[in-house]
Structures are given as C-alpha cells and as structure tokens.
Structure 1
Amino acid sequence: MNQWEFSMIGDYTHLRIRLSNGVAFVTIDNGPVNILDVALMSELRSFLLASRGNEDVKVIVFDSANPDFFIAHVDMTLIDHPNAFDGLAEDTPKGLNVFQAFAELVRHQPQVTIVKLAGIARGGGAEFVTAADMTFAAIGKAGLAQCEALMGIVPGGGGTQYALNRLGRNRALEVVLGADLIGAELAERYGWINRAVPADQLDAIVDAIAYNIAALPDGVIAAAKHALPPAPMNDGLLREHKAWEGLFARPAAEALIRGGLRAGAQTVRGELRLEELLRELNRALVA
C-alpha cells in the first residue's frame, strides 16, 4: 500500500474507500440518510482533489452504505448556519457558488466517475449523480428528484443546467417544477441515467464496467474524456445562482425549510415521504 492509498483509506469519517485493480470504490456513510452537509462535502471534495493526480486510479465508483439513500440532499439545517460553507467557498472559482463548484469538480474529474444508485438522491444528491460520468440505478429502489421547488427555491448546485443538458428543456422543467421522485426506469427513458438494471444485478453490472474501463490501455480514458468534454455551462450556472439566491431570500423558503425540518425532514421516516411532506406544508402555506 503506497502513501496515497493509506491516506485515502485512513483519513475519512464519512467515506469508506477500497482500491482494487485501478478502481476506487467510495462508499458514502453519513447516517442516518446521507445528508450532504459540510463534513461530507469536504471529505468528497478532498478525495476528488487528492485523486486527480493519481495515475493508478482509473475509475471511481460511488455507492452508499445506506440501501435507501444515496445522498438525501443538502443539509437543510444550514438555514441557521449561513456561513457554514465559508471555508469551502474560499477556493470556489469565480462565477460559481460553493454547491456549483462542488458538482463541477465531480463533472470535470479526470477519472471516469460512476454512481451505483440503489436508493434515493434528491437536490444536491441528484446534482452529484448527474455530474458523474455514468449512473446505473436499481429498478424498484433508486429514485432521483430535484425537490427544491417544494422548499420555495430552485436547484442551486448545477441541477437546472445539468437537467437542461441531459433531458432537454421540456423535461428539465418537468423535473424542476414537478419536483417528483423519479424511479430508475423513467430516469433511463428521460436520459437522466445510463441504465436501469435489476436491483440484484446492480453490483455485478457496475463492477464489470468499472474493471473493464480500468483495464484499458494507458491513455485511452484521457483521450476519450478529452474528445467528449463536459458541456460548457458558465453562463447558465450564473443564471441559476441568481435565480436560486433570489428565491432563498424570500419568506416562503425559510418557512418551508424550517417547517420541513419540524415535520421530519432529514429523518429516515420523513425522507421516505419527503415530497408528500413538503407538499402538505405548501398547501398549508397558501391556505
């Protein structure tokens, strides 16, 4: 085990990392529902940056220790701690907010990034999934949602632009404004993910693809990613940030986020019915 391997395996609280034949398997473990809080974002960011210059890692596979949740969404309690991400924001490129910069780091990672999606990914979790190069999702178990509209805001970590690029404008509007949890098969049909697969075959399918890619001759992965670069989104991300920031300052966002937390958001029970929970709050707010 070299120094990089020891560091990557030993220095994290919310990530479990296993290295095998050119593939880094990264398991997210931030119970109870894998909230994307400062600690988890910091560790994922640290891992991605440390991996960039390591030629022995060809592919990175992300999965979750929780079978029901991949990444639930960004930590809603941050409404009471608006400066919590200031440390991460210090290194944020000009023109991006801290959440966009995080997702763009994933989208521009030199290794092939693959999400093994066996549970739910909403909000910032869905943005992470969409930023990855490939996603394979378990039929009957996986779900994706940009649920921010139900909190009185719009996606602010790249979600609007990623949806526009992947799904087209009409379906992107459905995802952003419909704010429903979309299962693996419909997500595949919309082009949100690569493939919906039987849940009992997810591990085998993803592992085979990851190992096959990692075994390619030197230079092939870099050449493919150079020939197939991520779409440029700077102007769109700026528009998204302004839209998100403007809505976040309105009273409805605060009422819905605080109300959601009181009603059980960020608990297992509440997250399993988050859309229903937030719609109930919306109805009460406009009544």
Structure 2
Amino acid sequence: MNHNTYATLRVSIEDGIARVTLDNPPVNVLNVALMTDLRHLLTTLRDDDSVRVIVFESADPEFFIAHVDMSLIDTPDAFDKFAADLPEGVNVFQALGELLRHQPQVTIVKLAGTARGGGAEFVAAADMTFAAIGRAGIGQIEALMGIVPGGGGTQYLVSRVGRNRALEAVLGADLYDAETAERYGWVNRALPADELDGFVDRLARNIAALPEGVIAAAKRAIVPENLAEGLVREHDAWAGQFVRPAAERLIRGGLAGGAQTHDGERDLEGLLRGLSG
C-alpha cells in the first residue's frame, strides 16, 4: 500500500507501527488539504491488520496542529465535498475527531509543540498523548474568536478533565503547558523534551508486539464514550456563534494581525485578546 502520495503527511510503516508526520507549512493549520489527507489515511489504515499502532508527530517543532484554518471565513463551502459521506449528527470537524476516536489501532500523539482549537481537539480524540515539558502547549482558543469549540472539543474535554476544568479551558482560552495538562488529565503524561521520542517509541513498540488479538480485545472492553447528543449540542452552539458579527471581526482581525504565521502564533492568545479591547 502506497502511503507516499499525501501532500501534508509523511508516513512510514515498520514493525506494526505507522509513524505519521504532519507537514503542512507554515504552522500546520487544519485546512482542506490536511483534513483530506488525515481522513484518507485513517480510513485506509482501518482495514490494515498489519498496523497496530499509529503515532502522530509534527515536522515543525513549534506547532503540532495550530488550529482550523482561519482563512476559511472567506470560503465557508470549502468542506462541502466531505458532506456527502458524513456520519449522521456530526459536522466535518467532529467527524475527523470521531474517526480518530474509533480507530481500531492504538493512536498516540507525540506533542512537542502547540495544539490549539482543532489541533487540541485532534489531540484529545487520540487514545494517548505524551507532551514535552517546556515545549508543548495545548488550548481551546475559540472563545477569543467569538465562538466555541465545534470539532468535538467540548465533549472530549469533559470526558478527560471534568466539567469544571472544561469550562475553565473553553472560557479561559489560555495555553496550557505540559505539566498542567498532565495534572488536569488532558494528556497522559508530561515528559522531559529529550525523553519524549524514546518513551513514545518504546511504548509503541511494546504495544505493537503484544500477542494477536490483545489490542482489539482491550479496545472492545475500553470503549469510547457515546457523545452523540453532546456533539449535536456542541455543533448548534458553535454554529450559532459563528454567524455573529463578532466572530467574523475577530477572525479577520487575527489574520490581519499575524495569525497563521510563526510570529503571530507564538502568542495567539495575546494577539486575539488585543482585538477585544
């Protein structure tokens, strides 16, 4: 099977482990190209019994997935091509999270940079995440754009950290460091940056080497929570805010101020807060 045809991903498979490197410059925004490649890869791997573990990392040491492409404000129909095969009751962004959440392989995120918005939702949808101390950051930035998470983030957060901390993350809209994310339960573990690669590699190899049927049995026994009703509520809340004038003003202002560039993304929270003043 040829996995070398992706525009935004680099994929290698060895010893039952698919290693997926996200490479969508300049900051790995979740745009149509990246969404297309991730959906195709996950769908293809679902039926590949030789792959037992999927490890995701980024080619950019500063950014895992920055967030959903803010320039989609000008092309609201860009994702229409996905609408034909969406599962009932989810939007295109939620569908990606649910595809990942129900993947038969064990999915692991190696978080060495930042993941905001749709990036944070992707992280929370994976089975496990390990974050580099001093380098990783995770946050739901959407409130600073006048909206709320709309790709599963509200539901995944409650499942991981509880309602009170989910509200803190969504409404506080701060970037959480690796240690705080670990303490809250948002990621599995925070590790020294120079130990992250070795730890994840050892874990992935140990899982991939388990006897036949063990992974499938564990995933049958430890099932993802059914979030169907919550995802509908989330979509309605997101869509209701997205059409308000404040959302367009803040998103356009963010882009004009440097969002989706390396410099602007380093303190995206500060950039967007400055637009609300």
Shorter-chain TM band: over 0.9
Match of 2:275 in 1: 281
Deviations 1:158-196 (A, max 9, x none): 000001111100000000000000000000000000000
Match of 1:239 in 2: 233
Structure 2 counterpart of 1:197, one-letter code: L
Paired positions, count: 277
What's the secondary structure of 1:88's corresponding residue? helix
CA distance in 2, matches of 1:93, 1:226: 21
Deviations 1:199-251 (A, max 9, x none): 00000000000000000001000000000000000000000000000000100
Match of 1:211 in 2: 205
CA distance in 2, matches of 1:282, 1:109: 39
Q: CA deviation at 1:90?
A: 1.5
What's the secondary structure of 2:122's corresponding residue? helix
What's the secondary structure of 2:107's corresponding residue? strand
1:152 aligns with 2:152: no
Select 1:20's aligned residue among 1, 14, 19: 14
Q: CA deviation at 1:91?
A: 1.0
Deviations 1:253-275 (A, max 9, x none): 00000000000000000000100
Select 2:168's aligned residue among 174, 179, 203: 174
CA distance in 2, matches of 1:270, 1:61: 28
Match of 2:39 in 1: 45
Structure 1 counterpart of 2:141, one-letter code: C
Q: 1:29-68 residue pairs with structure 2 within 5 A?
A: 29-68=23-62
1:72 aligns with 2:51: no
Select 2:188's aligned residue among 183, 190, 194: 194
1:251 aligns with 2:245: yes
Q: 1:135-146 residue pairs with structure 2 within 5 A?
A: 135-146=129-140
CA distance in 2, matches of 1:41, 1:177: 26
Deviations 1:26-71 (A, max 9, x none): 0000001000000001001100000001110000000000000000
Match of 1:95 in 2: 89
CA distance in 1, matches of 2:178, 2:14: 28
CA distance in 2, matches of 1:199, 1:89: 39
CA distance in 2, matches of 1:83, 1:32: 23
Select 1:107's aligned residue among 101, 104, 125: 101
Q: CA deviation at 1:18?
A: 1.2
TM-score, structure 2 normalization: 0.99
What's the secondary structure of 2:85's corresponding residue? coil
CA distance in 2, matches of 1:176, 1:33: 22
Identity, % of aligned pairs? 67
CA distance in 2, matches of 1:119, 1:171: 22
Match of 1:271 in 2: 265
TM-score, structure 1 normalization: 0.96
Match of 1:118 in 2: 112
* Runs of 4+, deviation exceeding 3 Å: none
CA distance in 2, matches of 1:277, 1:215: 46
